[in-house]
Amino acid sequence: MDSIRLQNQPLDVVAAIAAVTCPEAGGINLFLGTTRAESGGGGGGDTNSGGAPQLLALDYEAYEPMALAEMHKLLAHARSTWPITRAIIWHRLGRVAIGESSILIALSCPHRAESFEACRYLIDELKKSVPIWKKEIFTDAARWQMEK
């Protein structure tokens, strides 16, 4: 029933909710991580042209087989801790424009408290251990997050 995948296409929220809906669940928790507008730029200090470079998009890259394996491990651990009925973790790869979602986590549980806890655990841990990287595409340059 669980669905874990990496995809280039936009994330389908309606399909995700349908996939985790089930009669045993009393609550569905859905987290969307979205690309936030930023200024700053990849070049060093652009003070003459008046106006800092703007973030246009993010480019995501993954070590795909390991990223999927790590996402399965996280979900297995979450299942051993909370009574998850159904769960989804979908992550975008490639270009993600400002305002679009890069990650969708949706899960259902018998009660709402555990659905919040499980969802928070999954997004927090995914950010620490799953081998996925974002490159920030600014109007003037591109840089990997780790170059900050």
Partner 1 sequence: MSSPIRITVRLFALMADRAGQREIPLSLRTSRPTVADALAVLHDLFPAIPWPTGTMLALNQSYTTAAAPLTDGDELAIIPPVSGG
Binding residues for partner 1 (CB under 8 A): 33, 60-63, 65-67, 69, 91, 102-103, 123, 126-135, 144-147
Question: Tokens representing 92?
Answer: 């975008």
Nearest distance from residue 75's CB to partner 1, in Å? Answer: 15
Interhelix angle 64-81/112-129, rounded to 10 degrees, is 150
CB of 48 to partner 1, least distance (A): 28
CB 79 within 8 A of CB 65: no
Q: CB neighbours of 7 closer than 8 A, spacing ≥ 6?
A: 90, 91, 92, 93
- Least distance to partner 1 from the beta carbon of 119, Å? 13
Q: Between 28 and 103, whose beta carbon lies closer to partner 1? A: 103
Q: Which residue has the tokens 């999927």?
A: 68
Residue 118 or 126 with smaller CB distance to partner 1: 126
Minimum gap (Å) between residue 45 Cβ and partner 1? 21
86-92 and 3-7 beta bridge pairing: parallel
Residue number, 20 or 130, with CB nearest to partner 1: 130
Q: Are 14 and 30 in contact (CB under 8 A)?
A: no
In the complex with partner 1, the residue whose CB is nearer, 25 or 90, is 90
